[in-house]
Structure 1
Amino acid sequence: MRPTGADAYLFPKLEQEVRMTFSAPKPVFDTAIAGGDALGNLPDWDLTDLYADQDAPELASDMEWLEKACADFAADYQGKLADLDAAGLLECVQRYEQIDVVGGRIMSFAGLRYYQNTTDGERAKFLSDCQDQITTFTTPLVFYTLEINRIPDEQLDGLFAENAELNRYKPIFDRLRAMRPHQLSDELEQFLHDQSVVGSAAWNKLFDETIAGLEFTIDGEKQGIEATLNLLTDSDRATREKGARELARVFGENVKLFSRVHNTLAKEKQVEDKWRSMPTPQTGRHLANHVEPEVVEALRNAVVNAYPKLSHRYYALKAKWLGLDQMEVWDRNAPLPETDDRTVDWDAAQKLVMEAYADFDPEMANIAEPFFTKGWIDAGVKPGKAPGAFAHPTVTTVHPYVMLNYLGKPRDVMTLAHELGHGVHQVLAAEQGELLASTPLTLAETASVFGEMLTFRKMLAAAETKDQKKALLAQKVEDMINTVVRQIAFYDFECKLHAARAEGELTPEDINALWMSVQAESLGPVFTFMEGYETFWSYIPHFVHSPFYVYAYAFGDGLVNALYAVYEEGDPEFQKKYFDMLKAGGSKHHKELLAPFGLDASDPAFWDKGLSMISGLIDELEAMED
C-alpha cells in the first residue's frame, strides 16, 4: 500500500508499497558476463523470518487479524479521541502501532518477493492482492490522524506532561501536527486512501515492470538494463559508446510511455498539493523529512555554487588522464587507465567490509554479521530482479534485508558497505518501536555513507602503489560527485519538471530539454552530449517512486563528511555519540542529533565544510600530476 497525505506519516513502513531505502543507481552487469562462479557463493534471501511462503497459515492468520484489528480500532476510537485521557491515548497509539507492525510485515514479505523477480506474474499478483486487501482493511483508520489534528495543542501537551510513556511518541504527533494545515476533510482523505492502489502505486508498478522487461541488443545478444548500464564502466571506449547508444535507442523507443508516467504522477501530485494548500511541490517531502525548506535550499545553493571546483574541475582532470580533449557521456564513468580490472569475490568483499566496520567499533561488525550468516542479503544478478540496491527495514520485530546486484567491482564493494550501513542503522533504530524507528530521508543515508567512508579509507590505506591510490581516490571522488553533484542536478530537474507540468502537459521533447539543461550545468564544459542522451532521465526510479527524494543523498553525504571530520579529529566519545544518533531513529530532529558533534545543518558553512572534503580529494589527485 502507498498511503497518501497524512497517512503516509502514520504508516512509515508501508509508504511506497514497502518502504525501501534505495541507493543511487550504480551500474552492474549480468552474472554470466562477470564470470559467474568466480565471485563465489552469492547469498540469497531467506524470507522465512517474515513468512515461510505466500500460503503460510501465519500470513493468512495475520491478514485476518489485521482486518478485525482495524475494524475494532475504528469502532473503539472513531469520534472519541478528543475525550481520551493520557492512559487511554497511550493504549490507542500502541494498538495503532501493532496494526502497523502486522501490515508492514505482510507488505514487506510481498514486496521483497516481488523485487526478487519483478517479471513474475504470480509475485506481482500477490503483491497487488496484498495491497488491495490492506488498503481496504485500513480505510476505517483514516479518521485517526484527522481527529488527532483537531485536538488543541494545549490539550495534547497536557497529556504528554502527564504520561512519560505517551510523551515518548510526541515526535510522531509533532509530525502529524505539522501536516495539520494541509489536512483535507474526512471523506476526501478516505477517498485518497482508497484510490492510491489504482493511482500512483499502479503507475509505480508499470514503471518497474517496464524497466525490468526492457531488452537491449549488444553484439547480437539480448540483455537487460543492468548489463547494458554496466558497459558504461568498461575500459574499452568503443564498448562504452556501444552501450550508451543502445541505451539511448531503447529509451527513445519507450520515451512516450515514460513521459506518460511522469506526466500523470506529476499532475496527480499537483492536484493533491493544490487541495492540501502545499505552497510548493517540494513541501510534502520536506515535511516528511522533518527538514526546513531553507536548509534544503542552502544545501542546493552550496552544491550548485561548487560545481566549478568539484565536477567541472574533476572531469577536466579525468579528460586529461583519458587523453581526450572533450568527454562524451559514455566517458563519465570510464575506469582510469591505472584501474585494476580484477574482480573482488564475495568472501573477500565480506572480509574487507567487516574489517572496516570492526576497526571503527567491534559492535558495528557484530551487528552486521547476521546479514551474511542468516540470509539477510540477496546479492546475485538474476533475470527479472530489481536493478540497483536497497536496504529494507521490514518491521522492528523482525530485521532488515539488503538487496544487491553484486558483480565484484570495487564499486560493488562500496555498495555492499553502503547498504550494510543502512542495515546496521535499521537494526539499531528498531528499539524505538515501529512508529519511531523510521528515519527521515535526510538522515537515512548517514550510516550508509559513513560505512562507505570507513571501507574506502581501509582500501586506501592498503594501496601498495601510487597508481592504486590514484585509482581509489578518483573512484571515491566520482562516487561523491554522483552522490552530491549529480543528485542535486536530479533535484533541480525534478523542480523544473513539476513547475513545467503545472503549466500543462509535457511532451517527451519538453522533458528531454529540462534534463539537458541541468546536465550541461552540472557536468561542465568538458562534456559533449550524444544524440539520445536527452532521454536518460527515463530510467531513474526515484523520480517515479519518491519525488524529491534525491536531495537526501547530498544531505547525507555532506552530513557524513562533516561527521567524519569530527571523527578524524579524535573525539574519544565519537563512537558512543554515533551509535546514540543511529539508535534515535526518527525520534529526534537533525538539529538535536548533530548537536553533540558540534554541527548544525542550518548553518550554510556546514555544507561548505562537507564539500571541502571532496575538493580536498581532488587537490590530492591534482598533486599526483606534479
Structure 2
Amino acid sequence: MQDTRTFDANDAASGPDLGNLPEWDLSDLYTGEDAPELQADIEWLEAECRAFADDYENKLSTLDAAGMLRAVQRYEAIEGKSGRVMSFAGLRYYQNTTDSARAKFFSDMQAKLTDISTPLVFYSLEFNRLEDDALATLLDASTELARYKPVFDRLRAMKPHQLSDELEKFLHDQSVVGAAAWNRLFDETMAGLTFDVDGESLPLEATLNLLTDHDRDRREAGAKALARVFTERLPLFARITNTLAKEKSIEDHWRKLPTPQAGRHLANHVEPEVVQALRDAVVAAYPDLSHRYYALKAKWLGLEKLEIWDRNAPLPTEDKKVVAWPEAKKIVLDAYGDFAPKMAEIAEPFFEKGWIDAPVKAGKAPGAFAHPTVTDVHPYVMLNYLGKQRDVMTLAHELGHGVHQVLAAGQGELLSSTPLTLAETASVFGEMLTFQKLLAATTEPAQRKALLASKVEDMINTVVRQIAFYDFECRVHAARAEGELTPDQINAIWMEISHESLGPVFNFMDGYETFWTYIPHFIHSPFYVYAYAFGDGLVNALYAVYAEGTPGFQDKYFEMLRAGGSKHHKELLAPFGLDASDPKFWDKGIALISSMISELEAMEA
C-alpha cells in the first residue's frame, strides 16, 4: 500500500497476523522479459502465422477431413503459444500496474501479437463461408475433427454478423488503440488513485475494504473518501464509458447485432431468453430478498435507515478475528477434501508452487481473479488478502476457478474455456462447500447468525447486485444510442438502479451516484456480470441435488468440470436433472436465499 505515512504493504499483507503470504512464481511461463524462450516463441509465432496463411488462405474449402484437422490443430498451437506470451505479460502487469516498465512490456506484447496474428484473420471468415453440408461431411469423416464441433458451432454463430475480410482485418489491427487502449487507461487510472482517510493515504482496495470495517465512523470516512475521488475523476470515467459504449454500438450496428447484449450471449453460448428469465426472476424477487434483508439488518444495527456505508457492515456479533493465511488454507482445503479428496489434491499445488499471489501491494490490481493461462501450464490465482472471513470465501471462490481450469485443461486450448454461463459454477460451489463446513462447525447462536447473515449478503451481492449491474449496463447502452451521456445522466441511471435493487431502507449520501465508476466489468467485459448471478442460481440448485445425497454426484461433478467448453449448458446439467432454460429453474436458487433470510428472521422471534 502507498501512504503519506510510508505505510508498508507488509504491515497489512505479510505481518504476524496473516502469516507468510505467497506470491507468484511466473517462471513456469517464462523466467523474465529477456528469456530466450520468450523470444523464440515470438519468432515461432511470426513464422507460423505467415506459414498458416500461406498454406490455408483461400483454400479451406478444398481441404479433406484430415487436412482440416491439421489446420485446426495448427491454429490451436498458435493460440497456445500466443496465450502463453500474453499470460506472462498480463500477470506481471497486474502485479504492479503502476510500474511503467511492466506497463510498456504488456502494451508492446499486445501490439506485437496483434501485428503477428493479422494474417490469421481470414481463418474464421473463410471457415464461416463453408457450406453447412460440406462441413457436416467433414465432421462425419473424422471423429477427431468432430471433437471440435462445439468450437465450430460458436464460431458459426457469428456467421450472420461477419463483416468483409478487409473490415475484419481493420478491426483487428485497430483494436490496440481502441478498446484495449481505453481499458488500459482505466486500469492505470484506478491503480494510481489514492484516497485520504483521516490523514492516511490509501489505494482503492484498502479504501473499499473500510466499507466492511466494524467501526462505523471508519466506514463512513472510507465511503466519503471514495465519493470525493470518484467525483473528481468523474469526467474521465464518463469519457471512457461513452467512448467504449459508442465504439461497441458502431461495431454492433455493422455486425447487425440486434441488441448491445447479443454479442455477449453469443459468446456465452446462451439463449437471450434464458438470461431474460434469470433477470426477470431476480428483479421480481428484490422485495423478498434485498429489501427484506436490509430492513432486518437495519434493525440489528439499531438504525431506522441504513446509510450506504452500512450495506456491507459486519454484524455487532460477528467475530473480529483475523484469519491468518495458514488457517485460511486449512479451512478451504478441508472443505474441498470433505467433498472429495481429489478436489483438495488438485487445489494443494496452488499453495505450494507459487500459483497464488495473495498480499496487498502498492500498484497491484484490485480485486481477485483466477487466470487459466494455457492448458500446458496451469492457472494463477490473484487475491488481495486481508484476513477477513470474506477473504477466506474469496480464496475458496478463486480456487474453485483454478480447480475447474486444471480439470478442463485436458480439452486442449480451443475447448477448455468454459462459457460464462458455467464459468462461475466451480467457484461458487467451492464457496458453498466452505460456507457449509464453517456453518456446521458453529454452535454458538450469535456466531451462527453472523455467519448466515454474511452468506446471505454474499448471495445478495452475487445475485441481486450483479443483476442490478446488468440492468445498469442495459440502460446506459440504450441511452448512449440516443447520444452522448453527461456524467449526471449516467449517475442518474445508477441511482435509479440503486433505489430499485437496494430498497427503501437506505439513505444515499451525496457522491454515491458516482460509485459506478470503479466497477471494472463495465469497462473490460460489458454484460459479463449476469454470469455471476447465473452461476449462483445454478450452484444453489446443484448444491440442493448434492445435499439430497444423489448417488455418484462427485463423479458427475468432476465430469462436468472436465468438459470445459465442449458441451452446452443443457448437456452439462442434464445428469443432475437440471435445466437452466426452464424459467422456474431460477426460482429454486432464489428460494434458497429467501429461506436463509427467513431463518434469520426466526432468530429474532
Match of 2:474 in 1: 495
Aligned runs of 1:297-446 on 2, under 5 Å?
297-446=276-425
Matches within 5 A, 1:8-157: 32-33=11-12, 36-157=15-136
The CA distance in 2 between the partners of 1:30 and 1:52, in whole Å, is 25
Pick the aligned partner of 1:604 from 570, 575, 583: 583
- Corresponding position of 1:184: 163
| Separation in structure 2 between the aligned mates of residue 88 and residue 291 of structure 1, nearest angstrom | 31
Superposed counterparts of 1:524-543, under 5 Å = 524-543=503-522
Give the secondary structure class of the aligned counterpart of 1:54.
Answer: coil
Aligned to 1:24: none
1:32, CA displacement in angstroms? 2.7
Which stretches in structure 2 are left out of the alignment for 5+ residues?
1-7
Contact 1:31/1:407 (8 A) holds in 2: no
**TM-score, length-normalised on structure 1?**
0.95
CA shift for structure 1 position 37: 2.9
Residue equivalent to 1:196 = 175
* Distance of 1:507 and 1:608 partners within structure 2: 38
Which residue in the other structure is 2:150 paired with?
171
- 1:516-574 CA distances to partner (integer Å, 9 max, x unpaired)? 01000000110110000000000000000000000000000000000000000101110
Distance 1:530 1:133 in 2: 46
Matched, 1:258 2:237: yes
| Amino acid aligned to 1:253 | E
Q: For residues 164 and 15 of structure 2, what CA distance do their matches in structure 1 show?
A: 56
Counterpart of 2:545 (choices 558, 562, 566) is: 566
Aligned-partner Cα distance in 2 for 1:37–1:225: 24
User: How many angstroms does 1:464 deviate by?
Assistant: 3.0
Q: Is the 8 A contact 1:110 1:126 kept in 2?
A: yes
Q: Is the 8 A contact 2:396 2:427 kept in 1?
A: yes
* Matching residue's letter, 2:512: Y
Give the distance between the partners of 2:370 and 2:110, measured in 1 at CA.
21
Bigger shift: residues 30-39 or 284-293:
30-39
Distance in 2 (CA, whole Å) between partners of 1:624 and 1:155 is 65
Mapped contact 1:30–1:226 kept (Cα < 8 A):
no
Query: Whole-Å Cα distance in 2 between the matches of residues 215 and 333 of structure 1?
Result: 22
Cα separation, 2, equivalents of 1:349 and 1:127? 32
Q: Shift of residue 35 of structure 1?
A: 7.8
Task: Tell me, in whole angstroms, the C-alpha distance in 2 between the residues paired with 1:79 and 1:614.
Answer: 55
Equivalent residues of 2:383, 2:395 under 8 A apart? yes
Q: Is residue 511 from structure 1 mapped to residue 490 from structure 2 by the alignment? A: yes
Tell whether 2:253 aligns with 1:278. no
2:5 corresponds in structure 1 to none
Whether the 8 Å contact between 2:370 and 2:402 is mirrored in structure 1 is yes
- For 1:444 and 1:275, the matched residues in 2 are separated by 29
Counterparts of 2:446 and 2:14, CA distance in 1:
25
Separation of aligned partners in 2, 1:525 and 1:473: 23
For 2:15 and 2:512, the matched residues in 1 are separated by 31
- What is the rounded CA distance, in whole Å, between the counterparts of 1:362 and 1:310 in structure 2? 35
Aligned equivalents of 2:198 and 2:589: distance in 1? 44
Moved over 3 A (4+): none
Question: 2:588, 2:372 → 1: CA distance?
Answer: 31
- Structure 2 Cα separation of the partners of residues 278 and 333 of structure 1: 38
Cα distance in structure 1, aligned partners of 2:485 and 2:407: 44
> 2:604 corresponds to which letter in structure 1?
E
Contact 2:13/2:21 (8 A) holds in 1? no
Give the Å deviation of 1:31. 5.3
SS at match of 2:414: helix
Residue 211 of structure 2: aligned partner: 232
Query: What's the CA shift string for 1:385-413, capped at 9, x where partnerless?
Result: 00000000000000000000001100000
The percentage of counterpart residues that share the same residue type is: 74
Deviations 1:457-499 (A, max 9, x none): 0111111300110000000000000000000000000000000
8 Å contact kept, 1:175–1:290: yes
Q: Offset at 1:34?
A: 6.8
Alpha-carbon distance in 1 for matches of 2:362, 2:222: 19
Q: Is the 8 A contact 1:51 1:58 kept in 2?
A: yes
Q: Which amino acid aligns with 1:379?
A: A
Counterparts of 1:612 and 1:195, CA distance in 2: 47
Give distance in 2, aligned partners of 1:199 and 1:359. Answer: 48
